[in-house]
Amino acid sequence: IDSALWICTRSIAGRPARMVAPLQKVKVIHKHKGKFKRHQSDTNVSVPESWRRPKGIDSRVRRKFKGCGINMPNIGYGTNKKHRHLLPSGFRKFVVHNVADLELLLMHNRTYAAEIAHNVSSLKRKAIVDRALELNVNITNGKAKVRTEEDE
């Protein structure tokens, strides 16, 4: 098997299908893990955790004193533009509602992975998954809403 390709669980005409690998797989660096919490939200019940910028004239959090324990969000925490919206698999997400939308990914199957929209029926999902195998397009949620014979 070529190093750029891997075997998928689905198959075409009895043969296992090969799913395409991303053009580049980049480890995305997260500069801040978790959410930015609002100052004093841990001590006061009436102050919710959702971030609000401190605006007081004497606020030590706003003035960024050392040892205050709260980091304020700023532009330095932003993600690299090249790696923004990348999935852990290395693809970018593209929402597909029908088979015609899938045709758009024919030339971009190493960059974008299809994600079937939540309101697509199981019958159309099967058609989209089968066409994606033919076009060699990766699908993030290909097994959703698929009933097997054991379930019925």
Confirm if 134 and 113 have CB atoms less than 8 A apart.
Answer: no
> How is residue 82 written in tokens?
């090249």
Q: What is the pLDDT of residues 7-54, one digit of tens each?
A: 444 555 555 566 788 888 888 788 888 899 999 999 999 999 999 999
What global pTM score does this model have? 0.71
Q: Rounded to whole angstroms, how far apart are CA atoms 47 and 37? A: 10
137, with CB counted inside 10 A (0-12, 13-18, 19+), is buried
Q: What is the pLDDT of residues 103-140, one digit of tens each?
A: 999 999 999 999 999 999 999 999 999 999 999 999 99
The reported pLDDT for the residue numbered 4 is: 40
Give exposure, 84-121, as e/b (b: 16+ Cβ within 10 Å).
Answer: eebeeebbeebebeeeeebeebeeebbebbbbbeeebe
Q: Rounded to whole angstroms, how far apart are CA atoms 138 and 128? A: 11
